[in-house]
Structure 1
Amino acid sequence: MGNKNKFMDIYKDLARAIDGKVYRVGEPLPSENELAQKHNVSRETVRKALRRLSETGYIQKRQGKGSIVLDKTRFDFPVSGLTSFKELMDTNLSDNYTKIIRNEEMFLPAELADSMAMPHDFPVIRLTRVRYIDGEAVIIDDDYLSKKYVESIPDERAMISIYDYMENDLDLKIDFAHKQYTVEPVSKEDETLLDLHEDTHVVVVRSDVHLENTEFVEYTISRHRLDKFRFVDFARRQH
């Protein structure tokens, strides 16, 4: 192959190495000088290969850290519809598990009660879970379950699916939710519980979920690592 396309050889070589986990997520690639020497090319040729890796989502250039390997594995999370983590994971082959952080009775936090025009002494079960995919903590799910409908939930069921428990064990009919999506700076709990790879922000999904009778049953705050999920929807223009 001509020398003018040498950067593509380097690009393919590095892409194969990343796919083969020779260079792992969060790790830097060798420096431009090291790559130029290894492949016996100029630094400009290496820069073209690195630019291509960046354009195809393999790496991100970070000031003072070089070219950092990104996680190309993303999972599609539907914007509309109510999909549990279990249902999402059932559609792919990734290794995943859930860790329970808290499962306790309390009152709905005042700021949530105010936003939903509910009393400050509204009793709930607070359930906090960390979701792991391929050995890395990528989501914190913080749920507040109405004790009117969910008196308690066993840890072993919470580790599988809240919706499965509510619908199949408690015979509740979950109907609709209001959702809000924001990108926010990481919190202290994010830093403690998530594998952030120096990320400074997370995607936060807030949902208040209602039953078929329109009554409130759950408020969820899900904090997602930025690089792990795509949020998707189907839209049709109204005529």
Structure 2
Amino acid sequence: MDLFILCCAGFAAGVLNAVAGGGTFLSFPALIAVGVPPVAANATATLAALPGYMSSAWGFRHDMQAEGSLPLRAIALIATVGGLAGAFLLIVTPGATFLWIVPWLLLGATLLFALGPALLGRMQARGGASAGVAVSAAAILVVSVYGGYFNGGLGIMLLATFSLIGYSNIHSMNGLKTVLSSLLSLVSSAAFIVAGLIAWEQALPLAVSAMIGGYIGARVSRRITRTDLLRHFVTAVGAITALVFFLR
């Protein structure tokens, strides 16, 4: 039953991360449900999301192009530094403290996920004006620290950040989102492995199923016209998960 839960959650999380985001709202509680402690569950969910992000990035490989004031290499470098900083913060966070923080993180990520389309639309309505280099670098750094610490809601945060720094092509934004998500998961997972936080027995089936789901999600994303229904579903899952952790 644990294997079934992990495989279903991993596949669904991979699809959602490619199409609408929010896969962590499924993978993180699934790991908790099969007995993984919260800090280790967060670290394992980050590692397990990596294959799905990478397969999605491959599916979007023809869509990526540089926009705004920062070149892609600079964005990648800043994201690496931010991801490592966020991972270090998680490693040094005591388990009891993280257990207190988790419901607030889930609630904040759920609200951001629910309000994300409106926020993104307002930013794009600014006419595609690009922020300066310093503001763009700071925005990428902040969202990367968050992504290294907690993966929930990362996709919509990245999309909003790209819009802020001058991106307007949604397919290019989705492609870069999956690449940066892959990079953040890679560097933070490396830190988590060194710190011994990965639950390997649960990580393997979750990662394999997320990889399959991520590739399929990237392939079918352009054909899906009712992503709002997926978003409502993910928002409901996030809200219920946050409520459960508040009650605990």
Question: Structure 2 length normalisation: TM-score?
Answer: 0.27
More strand by share: 1
More helix by share: 2
Query: Which structure has more RCO (C-alpha within 8 Å, separation ≥ 6)?
Result: 2
Whichever of the two has the greater Rg, that structure is 1
